[in-house]
A and B are shown apart, each in its own frame.
Chain A
């Protein structure tokens, strides 16, 4: 008994009224619960974006402060809350836990794993909302981000740190382009983040499976707020994905961020705003819908060497209705991004896949984001295609054409065929350059249209077997030197002879 008594006496002597530490906490109480939103009273010293915790552990983020009321979006199950519940201010900004272990994982916008595995260890917390780096921290976009898709890499090049919009109707292959780009980053030291907003769970599952099969999941993180998740989570998903991206960008790494898609994100925000009774504007979107997306996409950037040299490339996706790009959200995002890839149903149905409308797709970074080898072939390709488009429209009215026009038309139709590409069949830089080189030099002019895909397949197979050194040379030097061009020419001539004989 003696030791215990000693112990108790010691405790007694240590406890003293002056010892009691206390903390003044701010609390409020729930007045109303709406779809994913709670309206609270009290909280005299609440801050915008502050995290609030309810008694049962559910958290909410303050996004609306009125004279006597506070509106917050619930991060979790809002059905467990009831009116009158106490809410405690945490004094923290809403954040997402990030870690290097996150690679290959599927998480929701508040960082909870959805793949049944354990929480990642050694986490840091990155704020969901962050002001994008200013001018002094940035440098121009220069390094290319190879998508592995010929039409994009040659004509609408994407640079690391660029924001390139993918826009088109449903079922035109928008997600496919984004996923192919992720798959093509294998071995390129790029961390990919796929942010699914309001997608079907089945689609997300098939994407995870696809990435796994192509060995792309090892460097990919999937942030998802599915169609059945509360709109609050759908609204936060792209910000959470950006926060995860910033974590890797701050380590000086290159990040590719796909937002699939921002139309549904705008819908989610519209719903929240209407529930919060904010004044509705055009198409019932609230007044800050432009800022919603501009502050998000502005976070994608190319940091200068001084700031660590990391980059974050964003590929937002927008779904249009009936090809209407003059709707509110598409025009907003077109004006924010550094270019867009237009996908069209007509082209898709005509068998031109990827269904990119090259005429109206642009990349405002342009040739800066191309290596020399690609520049060497792309300029001629662009010219040929532009002439082809002009002539094609013109030739529909005239029956007999002069030789020169026929030549352009023939060349253009072959190039159009060459730019077709099956999904998930990606080309590395040297192969892209080789096949485009062959087409612009006119080696395909005498191959019939129906044989082009066969020609391409065999050409790539043969060149990667016989001229491996040449391909690695182009890959390494990133340009077509005169010697390489001679070698390519000799090979193509030989191959063409064999090809014609084998038919």
Chain B
């Protein structure tokens, strides 16, 4: 299952899969979720690969809070 900010076309999906060979093409399901902002979040079983802008921003937020504290 791939979450993205806009509907991905076949070329984009194929290029993602080329990166992650353990994902099988027939299982792919593209879900549009605007909160992802940019990039994609891939769910594979109980594993998650977060390469979205949301994930990056969140981790930056965490780092900032940790240093402020």
Contacts and interface: CB of A to CB of B under 8 A. Distances in A.
B1 interface: no
Interface residues of B, number: 9
Interface string B49-69: 111000000000000000001
B67 to A, nearest CB: 13
A27 B48 contact: yes
Contacts of A169: none
Interface string B28-44: 00000000000000010
Contact of B46 (A20, A23, A44, A119): A44
A99 to B, nearest CB: 15
A46 to B, nearest CB: 9
A401 B34 CA distance: 98
A43 B48 CA distance: 11
B47 to A, nearest CB: 5
A27 B55 CA distance: 14
B21 interface: no
A490 interface: no
B21 to A, nearest CB: 13
B46 A26 contact: yes
For the residues of B in contact with A, the DSSP-based class is: strand
A20 B51 contact: yes
A24 B47 contact: yes
Contact of B47 (A20, A25, A119): A25
B26 to A, nearest CB: 21
Nearest to B45: A44
B46 A42 contact: yes
Interface residues of A, number: 14
A25 B44 CA distance: 10
Contacts of B46: 26-28, 42-45
A22 interface: yes
Contacts of A88: 48
B13 to A, nearest CB: 15
A413 B51 CA distance: 81
Contacts of A26: 46-48
Interface in A1-59: 20, 22-28, 42-45
Contacts of A44: 45-47
B45 A25 contact: no
Contacts of A22: 49-51
A24 B69 contact: no
Nearest to B58: A55
A25 B51 contact: no
Nearest to B65: A57
A25 B47 CA distance: 5
A27 B49 contact: no
Contacts of A25: 47-50
Residue of B46, B50, B69 with most partner-chain A CB within 10 A: B46
Contact of A119 (B43, B45, B69): B69
Nearest to B15: A17
A24 B21 CA distance: 13
A20 B47 CA distance: 18
B51 A24 contact: no
A377 B38 CA distance: 81
Given A23-B49, A24-B47, 9 more contacts: A20-B51, A22-B49, A22-B51, A27-B43, A27-B46, A27-B47, A28-B46, A44-B47, A119-B69
28 contacts: A20-B51, A22-B49, A22-B50, A22-B51, A23-B49, A23-B50, A24-B47, A24-B48, A24-B49, A25-B47, A25-B48, A25-B50, A26-B46, A26-B47, A26-B48, A27-B43, A27-B46, A27-B47, A27-B48, A28-B46, A42-B46, A43-B46, A44-B45, A44-B46, A44-B47, A45-B46, A88-B48, A119-B69
CB-based closest 9 A-B pairs: A42-B46, A44-B46, A25-B48, A22-B51, A27-B48, A24-B47, A22-B49, A43-B46, A24-B49
Interface of B: 43, 45-51, 69
